[in-house]
């Protein structure tokens, strides 16, 4: 926890940007019956029955200090999917830069995934440009990307979206608007605060 909080306290450095990453599953739902469109004096009416169209995984990367984020919908959440997102992050969004990457310790979020997806030299070149900071177990609230996912869910995902193409269109539009408005997260919780407010989580040292 303190490692994450200390990382958030570092001053902005455009040469080593701080990136937070997270992902969430999403279930595709379609209408079984055509909704009745809204009209003056009446809201849109949707039948309670729906069709399940499978699931996907939404990846999000965000740079809190720059007010930037990028979202991608993938059919699965394998090691290879994570590795491909890291490749895109380092070659398209942050070419020739090293990044500090905050993420949870999911079994697919590991450098070995790069070697299972790309040739050894390419995997090593990518790995050398990542400084990983894992959130502690049960500490996903420390990840700013989780805050972004929560905002996305409230503003964009609380409705029926039938397939991955429609989902990608929607989250891309949400992402573009949020980037244009330069929405960012002002993280205020510091290490000193944690030692006071979360004192119960620290070991109790007994003096002899």
pLDDT tens-place string over residues 89-110: 999 999 989 999 999 988 999 9
Q: Do 22 and 60 touch, CB atoms closer than 8 A? A: yes
The three-point CA angle 157-71-92 to 5° equals 170
With a CB cutoff of 8 Å and minimum separation 6, the contacts of 101 are: 19, 20, 21, 130, 131, 132, 133
d(CA 29, CA 52): 5
**Token pair belonging to 144:** 């700013």
pLDDT > 90: percent of the chain: 69
Segment 62-65 long-range contacts (CB within 8 Å, at least 24 positions apart): 62/19, 62/20, 62/21, 62/144, 62/145, 62/148, 62/185, 63/17, 63/18, 63/19, 63/20, 64/8, 64/18, 64/20, 64/144, 64/184, 64/185, 64/187, 65/12, 65/17, 65/18, 65/184
Residue 32 confidence (pLDDT): 83
185 compared with 66, residue with greater pLDDT:
66
- Check residue 103 and give its pLDDT: 95
141-154 pLDDT tens trace = 999 999 999 999 99
Q: Residue 74: its pLDDT value, please?
A: 94
Structural domain boundaries in the chain? 2-32+49-201
CA 99: distance to chain centroid?
15
CATH of domain 2-32+49-201: 3.30.420
pLDDT digits (tens, 9 = 90+) for 124-134: 999 999 999 99
Side-chain-facing half-sphere of 119: CA atoms under 13 Å: 2
Q: What is d(CA 125, CA 74) in angstroms, rounded to the nearest whole number?
A: 24
Locate 164 and state its tokens.
């991955």
What's the pLDDT at 172?
95
**Higher confidence at residue 112 or residue 206?**
112
Q: Report the phi/psi class of residue 184: left, alpha or beta, with left for phi > 0 and alpha for psi in -120 to 50.
A: beta
Q: Is the pLDDT reported for residue 198 higher than 80? A: yes
The dihedral sign for the CA sequence 53, 104, 140, 18: negative
Full-prediction pTM beyond 0.85?
yes
What whole-number distance in Å separates Cα of residue 147 and Cα of residue 60? 11
Q: Cα–Cα distance between 72 and 91 in angstroms, integer?
A: 16
pLDDT digits (tens, 9 = 90+) for 11-64: 999 899 999 999 999 999 888 888 888 889 888 888 888 888 899 999 999 999
Interstrand relation of 99-103 and 130-134 (parallel, antiparallel or unpaired) = parallel
pLDDT of residue 17: 95
pLDDT, tens digit (0-9, with 9 covering 90-100), for 132-187: 999 998 888 999 999 999 999 999 998 889 999 999 999 999 999 999 988 888 88
């Amino acid at each position: 926890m303190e490692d994450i909080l200390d990382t958030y306290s570092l001053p902005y450095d455009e040469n080593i940007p701080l990136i937070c990453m997270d992902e969430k599953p999403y279930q595709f739902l379609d209408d079984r019956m055509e909704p009745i469109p809204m009209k003056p004096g009446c809201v849109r009416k949707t039948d309670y029955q729906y069709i399940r169209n499978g699931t996907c995984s939404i990846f999000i990367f965000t740079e809190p200090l720059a007010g930037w984020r990028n979202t991608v919908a993938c059919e699965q959440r394998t090691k290879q999917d994570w590795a491909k997102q890291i490749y895109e992050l380092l070659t398209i969004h942050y070419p020739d830069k090293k990044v500090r990457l905050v993420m949870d310790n999911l079994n697919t979020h590991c450098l070995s995934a790069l070697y299972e997806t790309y040739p050894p030299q390419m995997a090593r070149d990518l790995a050398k440009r990542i400084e990983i900071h894992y959130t502690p177990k049960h500490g996903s609230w420390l990840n700013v990307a989780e805050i972004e996912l929560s905002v996305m869910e409230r503003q964009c995902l609380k409705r029926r979206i039938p397939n991955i193409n429609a989902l990608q269109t929607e989250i891309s539009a949400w992402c573009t608007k949020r980037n244009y408005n330069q929405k960012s997260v002002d993280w205020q919780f510091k290490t000193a605060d944690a030692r006071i407010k979360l004192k119960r989580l620290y070991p109790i040292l007994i003096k002899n």
